């Protein structure tokens, strides 16, 4: 729940979202993470695990305004191990 520590507090309320001129759902975003960040495969959209992830993200965002990113969402810029900023 710290600012800029990848909080999920307004994640549910910001989907569907426009990304690269395409509207994506939260399930599509989760599956994108499964493929890229976790080097895995898509969860079926009606899978109990997908429904559990959606329910958890919705729970974390209870009471946040729809369509608004809460201050502190995302990550701080990382410092490169090679001297970049």
CATH classification at residue 24: 1.10.760.10
| Burial class for 17, CB neighbours closer than 10 Å (0-12, 13-18, 19+) | middle
Name the DSSP class of 78: P
Structural domains of the chain, count: 1
CA distances from 26 to 12, 31, 62, 83, 84 (A): 7, 9, 16, 35, 32
- Average model confidence (pLDDT) for the chain? 82
- What domain range is 46 assigned to? 12-60
Cβ proximity of 15 and 24 under 8 Å: yes
| pLDDT (tens digit per residue) in 34-70 | 898 778 899 999 999 999 999 999 998 888 777 767 7
Is residue 79 included in any domain, yes or no?
A: no
Is the backbone peptide bond immediately before 16 cis, with ω within 30 degrees of 0? yes
pLDDT of residue 53: 95
Higher pLDDT, 26 or 73: 26
Return the higher-pLDDT residue of 17 and 83. 17
Q: Tell me the whole-structure pTM to 2 decimals.
A: 0.72
């Amino acid at each position: 729940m710290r600012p800029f520590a990848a909080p999920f507090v307004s994640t549910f309320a910001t989907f569907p979202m426009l990304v690269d001129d395409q509207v994506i759902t939260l399930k599509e975003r989760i599956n994108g993470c499964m493929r890229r960040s976790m080097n895995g495969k898509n969860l079926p959209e009606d899978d109990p695990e997908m429904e559990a992830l959606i329910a958890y993200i919705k729970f974390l965002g209870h009471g946040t305004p729809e369509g608004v990113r809460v201050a502190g969402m995302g990550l701080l810029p990382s410092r490169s191990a090679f001297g970049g900023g």
